[in-house]
Amino acid sequence: MAEISWKREQPKVLDEEMLHQAIEKQRPQGQAGEIAKKEGIQYEEVLHLQLEYKNILKIYHLSHFTSLTKLQLNNNVIEKIEKLENLTNLLWLDLSFNRIKVIEGLDTLVKLQDLSLFNNGISVIENLNALQNLNILSIGNNAIAQLDNREMAITKYQYAIEEIQQNERQEEQAMEAQRSNDQELKLHKKKMEGFCTQIFDAGLSQHTQRTAEVECFFDCYRKAVADNQQRAAQIVTDFESSRRQKVVEIKNITDDGLLEDHISTCREDLNQLSETLMSLELEIVEQLEVRMNDAIQSGDLENEHHEKQLEIALATLEKVAKNELEEEMPDDVLMLFVDKDTVTNAVSASHDSHLLKIDNREDELLTRIKSWSTGLLKTINNEELIRNRKRILEIRSYLSFGKNQLEDMQFSENQ
Nearest CA to 69 out of 40, 111, 37 is that of 111
- List phi, psi (to 5°) of 125: -85, 115
- Say if CB 98 and CB 78 are below 8 A apart: yes
Q: Are residues 317 and 273 in the same domain?
A: no
The Cα angle at residue 210 between residues 206 and 211, in degrees rounded to 5:
120
Q: Are residues 201 and 237 in the same domain?
A: yes
Domain boundary among 248, 265, 292: 292
Nearest CA to 78 out of 98, 61, 97, 60 is that of 98
Kindly give, in sequence order, each residue whose CB lies less than 8 Å from that of residue 145, ignoring residues fewer than 6 positions away.
123
DSSP code, position 114: E
Q: Are residues 277 and 354 in the same domain?
A: no
Domain boundary among 88, 117, 145: 145
Count CB atoms within 10 A of the CB of residue 49.
20
Q: What is residue 204's predicted lDDT score, i.e. its pLDDT?
A: 77
Walk across the sheet containing 48-50 and list its strands. Answer: 48-50, 70-72, 92-94, 114-116, 136-138
Kindly give, in sequence order, each residue whose CB lies less than 8 Å from that of residue 18, ignoring residues fewer than 6 positions away.
12, 51, 54, 56
Q: What is residue 24's predicted lDDT score, i.e. its pLDDT?
A: 84
Q: Which domain holds residue 199?
A: 186-292
Q: Are residues 253 and 328 in the same domain?
A: no
Tens-digit pLDDT profile for the chain (415 aa)? 333 333 467 888 988 889 988 888 877 666 655 666 666 678 888 999 999 999 999 998 899 999 999 999 999 999 999 999 999 999 999 999 999 999 898 999 999 999 999 999 988 878 888 888 888 888 888 887 544 455 556 656 666 777 777 888 888 888 888 888 888 778 777 776 776 677 677 777 777 877 787 787 778 777 877 787 787 777 777 777 777 776 767 666 666 666 667 667 777 777 777 777 777 677 767 766 666 665 445 445 556 655 666 676 666 656 655 565 566 656 665 565 556 676 677 767 766 676 666 666 666 655 655 565 566 666 766 776 677 677 677 767 767 776 676 666 666 555 5
Domain boundary among 145, 171, 197: 145
